[in-house]
Amino acid sequence: AQKITQTQPGMFVQEKEAVTLDCTYDTSDPSYGLFWYKQPSSGEMIFLIYQGSYDQQNATEGRYSLNFQKARKSANLVISASQLGDSAMYFCAMRGVDSSYKLIFGSGTRLLVRP
């Protein structure tokens, strides 16, 4: 069975600083995908970044980067130069190898950016 764990219910960061949101996962599948989504208070889910299990390099998308440590089964999200608009819930998710492409989500981390 697949499992995603986010151990930080809430995080604070000062504006313009970097912050790391933790995510660990467990799966027996050799091939999988890891995702991070942002959910503002309005409720929509915004895709941020993707890391494939066979990708050799850590994924980066603008101010977002994914610190992928396969041996430790961790996929932490790093947000650089935090902005006030980054305040939101952040969810780590995993997709397995089955053809359904369904995502399993972690419990989420609420990030508050302080001015």
Partner 1 sequence: GAVVSQHPSWVICKSGTSVKIECRSLDFQATTMFWYRQFPKQSLMLMATSNEGSKATYEQGVEKDKFLINHASLTLSTLTVTSAHPEDSSFYICSARHLGANTGELFFGEGSRLTVL
What lies within 8 Å, CB to CB, of 92 at 6+ separation is: 4, 6, 21, 23, 25, 34, 35, 36, 75, 77, 105, 106
Burial class (CB in 10 A: 0-12, 13-18, 19+), 67: middle
Among 25, 75, 90, 108, interactor with partner 1 by CB under 8 A: 108
Give residues 6-35 in contact with partner 1 (rule: CB under 8 A).
Answer: 33, 35
Q: For partner 1, which stretch binds (CB under 8 A), given 16-24, 63-71, 75-83, 93-101?
A: 93-101
Cβ(77)–Cβ(48) below 8 Å: yes
106 binds partner 1 (CB under 8 A): yes
Among 25, 68, 90, 91, binds partner 1 (CB under 8 A): 91
44 binds partner 1 (CB under 8 A): yes
- Residue 53 CB, shortest distance to partner 1, in Å, is 12
The first and second tokens of residue 41, run together, are 């208070």
Tell me: does residue 68 bind partner 1 (CB under 8 A).
Answer: no
| Distance of alpha carbon 98 from alpha carbon 92, whole angstroms | 19
Q: Which residues bind partner 1 (CB under 8 A)?
A: 33, 35, 37, 42-45, 47, 50, 52, 91, 95, 100-108
